[in-house]
Amino acid sequence: MLIKTYGAAVHGIDALIITIEAMAEPGVQFSLVGMADTAVKESYQRVLSAITQSGYKWPRRRMVVNLSPADVRKEGAAYDLPIAVGVLAACEQIEPAIPLDSFMIMGELSLDGSILPIKGALPMAIKAREMGFRGMIVPVANATEAAVVNNLEVYGMATLREVIEFVSGRIAPAPVQVNTREEFARAADVFDCDFSEVKGQELVKRAFEVACAGGHNILMVGPPGAGKSMMAKRLPTILPPLTLAEALETTKIHSVAGKLRSGSRLMTSRPYRAPHHTISPVALVGGGANPAPGEISLAHNGVLFLDEFPEFSRQVLEVMRQPLEDRHITIARAKYTIDYPAGFMLVASMNPCPCGYYNHPTKACMCNQGAVQKYLNRISGPLLDRIDLQVEIYPVDFDELSSTREGERSEAIKARVVRAREIQAIRFAGERGIHSNAQMNSRLLRTYASIDREGLETLREAMTRLDMSARAYDRILKVARTIADLEAATGLISAFPDPSAARSAYQTALRAAVSSPIRPHHLHEALSYRNLDRANWGRTVDKMPF
């Protein structure tokens, strides 16, 4: 007898349907075909033990199990459950009371018949709904994750016996219910840190606000103990909240990577990833023998923080150049080609020199002549070119450090960032793949970041006097555009403390802010964030003025 059950294979962050065909015929051999890896081939022992422990008998017949399509590689142990159901139905030990062709079944079996969690339940559920399946049977630990997908019956099962009883019609459990929009609306970002706890460092806090408002990459350069890592950890507290679409996409990536906690639903906070500088290129960009998303994909829609930037290997840093520009990574190997999204905000920090005290206000730098520039040269020009803001950070003096005065709270900074992002959402509404000022191309720069004659002369004088490189020109304009948006956002907050109370007028003001001009003071501030572009930075031990 031939029985078909259905599962899924994850390719990148998407899933494709796999048909599990189980056929029983005279004989005693068990065969599993269909380009299965070692973990899938070992399912025989797990399925045999699980069936026996569940009170059923392994059929004394020849069993052939085919995983179709045969030219797609099947990986992992998640096919155990559909194979077990197919084998029992094919040898007529169970008689399905539900149509097996209307359910996707996935789960790893333990030897005692319990069902273990799997990776990628969310993209599998999305594919099941897309292909018209009525429902999905998954491990109980993955039930809420899969139930995020609406219009799909999701049943979380703990044991093989429970699945058999459900398939046979002996039990009728209620499907797991998750109201996606309600859950997303109710969830709020909760952080255990706040920018109000940071003493001093007003320039760096302002740079972070600009970076978040425009989606710009930022590099902090300063001595040990100046607060670089502490401030980076507080960056997520001022980022705009995830949209529902971003939350679904982010959750898919973490589901495929197996990074979701048991019982997780939607990710409602932007991811923050901080890999150690000993990370390998494969761990950063993804891939491997069993392809998985790397750190740049796990940071999608969030922050990738690289502490001790020059200590990362040159090869690791250089593989980020293309993802930073294209916001996705294509991993091509002999046996597969996979696309992973990689739209992250890069935040990096570094010491200014090997000893760490170049430009320190009180401690002398002990490095040899030229060592500062040599240390900086560990970061290539093309990679530095993709970092819009380069900020020097200095230690906080004792009076500021011991002050009891509380700084501006993250909530207030975040309000300005959110308003600035709303302006950009209207500005780039008709541009595919453009969501923030940092992503503007040359055409959009000419349209939305044009400057008047006074601004042009200001920029010309500054670049000539500070001997800045040509690559700084576009970056300065993008950052200046964001600074102008933040100024407009501050005005919007003052005029409309509660936008919902005057929605029509607020929308009109938002549309007007889209074309707000870039003033010379916006350019001056943007220029102050290009410290490393100065040709003489790092060639003298004298402190460079802003």
> pLDDT tens per residue, the chain (546 residues)?
899 999 999 988 999 999 999 999 998 889 999 999 999 999 999 999 999 999 999 998 999 999 999 988 899 999 999 999 999 999 999 999 999 999 999 999 999 999 999 999 999 999 999 999 999 999 999 999 999 998 999 999 999 999 999 999 999 999 998 877 776 666 666 788 889 888 888 899 999 999 999 999 999 999 998 889 999 999 999 999 988 889 899 999 999 998 988 777 788 889 999 999 999 999 999 988 788 999 999 999 999 999 999 999 999 999 999 999 889 999 888 778 899 999 999 999 999 889 988 888 888 888 887 888 888 889 988 888 889 999 999 888 888 787 878 889 999 999 999 999 999 999 999 888 888 999 998 899 989 998 988 999 988 888 888 777 777 888 899 999 999 999 999 999 999 988 888 889 999 999 999 989 999 999 999 998 987 776 656 654 444 333
Instruction: Kindly report whether the peptide bond that precedes residue 281 is cis, defined as omega within 30 degrees of 0.
Output: no
Q: With DSSP H G I counted as helix, E B as strand and the rest as coil, what are the percentages for the chain, rounded to 5?
A: 40, 15, 40
Tell me how far apart the alpha carbons of residues 435 and 421 are, in angstroms, rounded to a whole number: 8
Cα angle at 421 between 419 and 422, to 5 degrees? 65
pLDDT in the model for residue 467: 77
Check: CB of residue 516 under 8 Å from CB of residue 488.
yes
Q: Give the pLDDT score at 538.
A: 60
What is the pLDDT at residue 189? 65
Say how many C-beta atoms besides its own lie within 10 A of residue 310's C-beta.
18
Q: In angstroms, rounded to a whole number, what is the distance separating the alpha carbons of residues 434 and 441?
A: 9
In degrees and rounded to multiples of 5, residue 292 shows phi and psi of -145, 150
Closest to 192 in 3D by CA, of 121, 269, 115 = 269
What pLDDT, on the 0 to 100 scale, is given for residue 546?
33
- What pLDDT does 541 receive? 41
**Residue located via tokens 């005065």:** 405
- Helix residue ranges per DSSP H, 320-409: 321-326, 371-376, 381-384, 398-401
> What pLDDT, on the 0 to 100 scale, is given for residue 519?
92
What's the pLDDT at 543? 41
| Helix or strand run (H / E) with residue 272 | strand 272-273
